[in-house]
Amino acid sequence: MKYRYQRPHPSLTDYIRTVLVLESFAEPDAEQLPLFTNGIPALLCETEKDEKENETIIRLTLYGKSTPEDCWSAIGNRTIIAYFFKPFTVACLFNLSAAKLVKDPVELSTWNPHQINALKTQLIYAQTTTQKVEALDNLLIYQLKQHKKECEMIRLITDEIMYNPTTEILSQVQEKLQINERSFQRLFKKYVGVTPNQYRRICQFQTSFNQLREKNFDKLTDIAYDNGFADQSHFIRSFREFTHTTPNDYLRSGLKEKNE
């Protein structure tokens, strides 16, 4: 078995982290990096050739969470191509509910039978792995063209909130995009899976938690005001909500195991 990571097509670099190509029929390299997915959403394509070189499509599936480990146990004359997506991209590209995608994998043959039958024909008649990658690239590029507006909007919103998770950011982003609040809420919930404010609060907690963990403060009020909390009490309530402990208790216990 041999595998490699490669850069995505230039048109897809804002949406795809990397592309993994695995060929079970190829001789392995002398040195190879461990294979892992780290919980990243992925599109997985698996094909197999029989003794007469006839190609069969084994799998064409979208995974909203980690790809199951048994998907990587390629045997025989198989090729696996996996696209690993950046956050909040896959739901936009395929116009799917983020909540549905996280709950269960989506078989592309049920997502759009006509479009995927055309893709399967291209994959079956592809002479090389490179041609298979090109066929999959074309699908993703087409989807991006169809949903470019939504993809760009979600990418902008999530980036803006991540870097500035204050209470004012939601109205600022909404005004910047010139959409009404109802559309803003609906769009975000569909493609991200939570409301804008829930996502903002997660980002706000994460930045404050990192500052606390790194002990980059003189007093807790510094963390509260640096991260847009109304006051220290608000910060403590939020910290307890996400961790079930207080900032001071966390600092006293550090990262020790509970039974120590």
Tens-place pLDDT, residues 64-118 = 877 877 777 767 788 999 999 988 899 999 999 988 888 899 999 999 999 999 9
> Residue 186: which of 125, 255, 98, 67 has the closest Cα?
98
Give the whole-angstrom CA distance, residue 3 versus residue 28.
8
Per-residue CA distances from 151 to 71, 101, 103, 108, 146 (Å): 28, 16, 21, 19, 10
Average pLDDT over residues 231-254: 90
Give the whole-angstrom CA distance, residue 154 versus residue 140.
17
Q: Which CATH architecture describes the domain 150-253?
A: Orthogonal Bundle (1.10)
| Residue that is written with structure tokens 């892992």 in the block | 36
54 Cβ contact list (under 8 Å, min separation 6): none
The radius of gyration of the chain's CA atoms, rounded to the nearest angstrom, is 22
Beta bridge partners of 19: 6, 83
pLDDT for the residue 257: 40
Residue type, 256: K
Give the whole-angstrom CA distance, residue 98 versus residue 198.
15
pLDDT tens for residues 216-239?
A: 999 999 999 999 999 999 999 999
pLDDT tens for residues 205-220?
A: 999 999 998 889 999 9
Give the whole-angstrom CA distance, residue 79 versus residue 46.
6
Computed over every residue of the chain, the mean pLDDT equals: 88
Domain boundaries, the chain: 2-146, 150-253
Give the dihedral sign, CA 28/31/34/35: negative
Instruction: Report the predicted TM-score, pTM, of the whole model to 2 decimal places.
Output: 0.80
| Percent of the chain clearing pLDDT 90 (strictly above) | 62
Most confident of the following: 27-41, 96-110, 128-142: 128-142
pLDDT tens for residues 156-170?
A: 999 999 999 988 999
